[in-house]
Structure 1
Amino acid sequence: MTLRRWRLQTRLIVLAGLVLLLVGAGIGTASWLSVRGSLMADLDSQLTSMTSHARSGDGPGAGPGTSGNPGTSGGGDDSAAAVDSALRYLFQPGVGDGALVVVDSGGGGEGLIAEAGLARPRALSAEAIDALLEVEPEGTESAHESVRVPGFGAYRVVAFHDGGTTTVYGVPQGSVDSALERTAWTTAFVVLIGVIATAALMAVIIHRQLRDLRDVARTAREVTDLELSAGKPELALRVPADLAVPGTEVGDVGASVNRMLDHVGSALEERYRGTEQMRRFVADASHELRTPIATIRGWADLTRPYRDDLPAEVTTSLGKIDSGAMRMSSLVDDLLLLARLEAGRQPTREDTVDVSSLLVELVEDAHVVNPDHAISLDVPPEALEVRGAADQVRRVVSIVLTNACVHTPPGTRVHVEALAARKPVSGQLPSDVVAIRISDDGGGIPPEIRDRVFDRFVRGDPSRARQDGAKGGSSGLGLSIAAGLVELMRGGISMSSTDAGTSFELRLPAA
């Protein structure tokens, strides 16, 4: 997961923590380096002072076998003089336990180390001597170096080259390393505690500072929860005025959200006014058209007794006028019913409707009208009753059943079944619902219109020529009317369709 996908508050806290961690690590490293430099400077100063006294001969004698002159020894040779000088270094005041010296006059190095409780220094191992002699002197004196001596740990050493003799002096560095290790752990702990405490404090501060932005987001979420798809839009929600003052980031966002809501509200109001005007126009036009259509049908009916005496062309024309008037009357009635449903002015009754007998009647009628379809019915032995108006329930079932027969090819099997909620259909149903399923094995509804089959004027094949008679062409209003009537009866309607067929399910409240 990328950082951009995290919440803004989380991102700010994480970034602040990383910055604090980097700053703390930098401060801790600088502190450790400062302490190390100070401790190493003290150690180097101590080593310089002791080697200076040893080489100048100002220090006291080292013990048995030594004299006050670093160049003279009991044996009288140069090697013994070098060893005496080394002993002078080891036994001078201030030299602590573990100080060592190595002398190499060309015939093999000798090394001594001072240890507490011993009267004389102890000889170093050959491995330790070789490690110390690897320190390269420069001129008469080399820079101080840190060397790990096998068997003795880390040492701070300095090497001198006098004639043919190389002398290496060293003091133990273990105390300094221990102090640096403690300093490192202490610094790391303090930095970590500081980062955690500061990050927690910043989390609280950031949480408080983002409170205004959360209020703006809450307003946006409340707007998205509003039902704005139907009815008169109510978009009165706005970001509070104190959070919509331009000049700050939150103020700019709040002001932009309010301007957007103003535009959306205006657009919804305009859409609602247009929809209301269209609904009123459809209702008024449908109402006004009913009278002239009834007049046309009436005059056409008056000619029926005389049609046998008229020429064939006139008889055919009158039949077309009669058929067209009937179709126009049906379409006008559908439009008027839709307008009333959308306006909420269509009344309904709370009667008890016997769904079983209603389905038997409608399936029998469908057999007569659609003899080329195999229509089957499956209802339980007990009566199924729903609450609603009988004519509205009849019309809803008739619309769906007629669509299943009209829009499928001959030979299609259409199955009608009704079930109580205790025998669920298409998932869990409420306990007070009767489900009516009408399915077919036709070619299915085209995928491009499956999501809007309940909209007005939606037809599977807009170019299909309208037919006359009982199986006339579709106007695209039937399923819209069915959905409106089912909703009016506090029920539900759903559709599922594949290339293997289509299934509609009506859910009506049980009586």
Structure 2
Amino acid sequence: MRLRRWRLQTRLIVLAGLVLLLVGTGIGTASWLSVRTSLMSDLDEQLTSMTSHARSGGAGSGPGAGPGTDSSSAVDSALRFLFQPGVGDGALAVVDSGGGGEGLIAEAGLSRPRSLSSDAIEALLSVEPGNSETSHESVRVPGFGDYRVVAFEDNETRIIYGVPQGRVDAAMDRTAWTTAVVVLTGVLITAGLMAVIIHRQLRDLRDVARTAREVTDLELSAGKPELALRVSSELAVPGTEVGDVGAAVNRMLDHVGTALDERYRGTEQMRRFVADASHELRTPIATIRGWADLTRPYRADLPAEVTTSLAKIDSGAMRMSSLVDDLLLLARLEAGRQPTNEDTVDVSSLLVELVDDAHVVHPDHSLILDVPPDPLEVCGALDHVRRVVSIVLTNACVHTPPGTRVSVSAAAVRKPVAGKAPSDDVAIRIGDDGPGIPTEIRDTVFDRFVRGDPSRTRQTGAQGGSSGLGLAIASGLIKLMHGSITMASSDEGTIFELRLPAA
């Protein structure tokens, strides 16, 4: 997971911990190297002193050095040094004069050194002679562990002296573990303190974020927007990081509030204009239709061109009247001024009636009705429920090719309500197996003036065409009755679901 996806507090704590761990590891490593250098220097001095003492002949003739001893009488003066008192425990010496190496090791509790194994001698003889007695190396001796050794040649004889390195290694292991525990403990304690400090320091930033979250929870899409929330003045003082963010958030909210107010004023002006224009247009349209109707008894005696023109005027006036009524209804719905009479509506009988009408108007479609035998009743206005179902059913028939199968069904469903007992709804589903609604308008299908593909099959005449207002009106009416309308569409068809509270 990328670090930038973590919370800021977590990132600061992790980064601080990593820095502390890096610094602690560096200090611990430096301390370990310093101690090791000191201990290895002491060990090298011990080896140098032992080597100088052995070569100076200071061994004299100690026990076992004189004649009459066993096979050790053949060991030269380099090996006789180990027979002297005061030789450190584990000190060893190997001599190779060309006829095979010999080696002894002094061990505490033994009166005399004992011979080294051939593997140990071979490992020691692998050390190349140095230029001086201070050319020390570390080598692992089989059966004895790590040794600090010095190798040199004297009169064509290779001599190796060594002292055990195990105590230094053990001390360094203890030092490493102690340092690691101390560093880790220090990092954890410091990280805990940093977490507390960072949490307190980010409190102001959390307050700014809380204000932003409260703004996002406001309902600003409908009605007059109220955007009075602001970051407190104490947190919006420029000059600090939090103050800069708070001041920027307040400026942004000011701009958003101004834009929302302008949008609301513009929407209200447009709504009033549509309502006023629709209302004013009803009179001249009614006049046109009235005068056109007066000519109906005389059209048989008029020339064919005049009769056709009057029929077109009548059809256009009817279309305009329907469109103006839709615009006026939609304006009232959006303004919340459309009254509704709560009543009990028998959905089952209403669907039977509307599907029978659709069979007559759309004989080229296959309509299927599925309702339960018991009546389904909802709370709402009969005219509104009829209008909503009629709009959706008509769209399913008008915007699909001949032969399309249109199914209408209704059923009682349970609606879960948070914190409350489930309530009963009646779901009306109207679906078709047509080509589906175009992808580019599926998200806006309930908006005003949204039209489908003009190449789809549609009726013509006074009731034909598409104004793009039908589904917007259906959505507004069903919300007025405390219901909901949803749509799902694909290349295999479209399904609208209308939900209304059960009576």
The two structures have a TM-score, normalised by structure 1, of 0.87
- Post-superposition Cα deviations, 1:175-212, rounded to whole Å, max 9, x if no partner, equal 11211121122222222222222233323333333333
User: Is 1:156 aligned to residue 148 of structure 2?
Assistant: yes
Amino acid in structure 2 at the alignment position of 1:18: L
272, 286, 290: which is aligned to 2:278? 286
Identity %: 79
233, 254, 262: which is aligned to 2:254? 262
Closer, same or farther in 2 for the Cα pair 1:354/1:135, shift >3 Å?
A: closer
Closer, same or farther in 2 for the Cα pair 1:285/1:54, shift >3 Å?
A: same
User: Is 1:12 aligned to residue 17 of structure 2?
Assistant: no
- Post-superposition Cα deviations, 1:106-149, rounded to whole Å, max 9, x if no partner, equal 55444332222332222333443343344444456342222322
Contact 1:90 1:101 in 2 (8 A): no
Contact 2:415 2:424 in 1 (8 A): no
Residues of 2 paired with 1:371 and 1:108: CA distance? Answer: 117
What is the total number of aligned residue pairs between the two structures? 495
Deviation >6 Å, runs of 4+ = 79-82, 463-466
Residues of 2 paired with 1:373 and 1:139: CA distance? Answer: 108
372, 385, 394: which is aligned to 1:380? 372
Task: Please tell me the root mean square deviation across aligned C-alpha atoms, in Å.
Answer: 2.9
Offset, 1:324: 2.2
Closer, same or farther in 2 for the Cα pair 1:126/1:332, shift >3 Å?
A: closer
Q: Unaligned 5+ residue runs, structure 2?
A: none
Offset, 1:364: 2.8
294, 308, 317: which is aligned to 1:316? 308
Residues of 1 paired with 2:177 and 2:125: CA distance? Answer: 34
Closer, same or farther in 2 for the Cα pair 1:105/1:356, shift >3 Å?
A: closer
Which residue of the partner structure matches residue 461 of structure 2? 468
User: Is 1:417 aligned to residue 417 of structure 2?
Assistant: no
**Higher mean displacement: 81-90 or 398-407:** 81-90
Closer, same or farther in 2 for the Cα pair 1:102/1:448, shift >3 Å?
A: closer
Contact 2:211 2:231 in 1 (8 A): yes
User: Is 1:112 aligned to residue 135 of structure 2?
Assistant: no
Which residue of the partner structure matches residue 23 of structure 2? 23
Which residue of the partner structure matches residue 83 of structure 1? 76
427, 451, 454: which is aligned to 2:443? 451
Which residue of the partner structure matches residue 250 of structure 1? 242
Residues of 2 paired with 1:433 and 1:234: CA distance? Answer: 33
**Higher mean displacement: 222-231 or 282-291:** 222-231
Structure 2 counterparts to residues 36-185 of structure 1, below 5 A: 36-58=36-58, 61-66=61-66, 74=67, 83-84=76-77, 86-88=79-81, 90-93=83-86, 95-138=87-130, 141-185=133-177
Amino acid in structure 2 at the alignment position of 1:292: P
Closer, same or farther in 2 for the Cα pair 1:41/1:381, shift >3 Å?
A: same
Q: Unaligned 5+ residue runs, structure 1?
A: 67-73
Contact 1:53 1:89 in 2 (8 A): no
Contact 1:90 1:99 in 2 (8 A): no
Offset, 1:256: 2.4
The two structures have a TM-score, normalised by structure 2, of 0.89
Residues of 1 paired with 2:108 and 2:158: CA distance? Answer: 26
Which residue of the partner structure matches residue 241 of structure 1? 233
Which residue of the partner structure matches residue 219 of structure 2? 227
- Post-superposition Cα deviations, 1:288-310, rounded to whole Å, max 9, x if no partner, equal 11222222223333333444444
Closer, same or farther in 2 for the Cα pair 1:153/1:369, shift >3 Å?
A: closer
Contact 2:431 2:493 in 1 (8 A): yes
SS in 2 for 1:382: coil
Closer, same or farther in 2 for the Cα pair 1:458/1:137, shift >3 Å?
A: closer
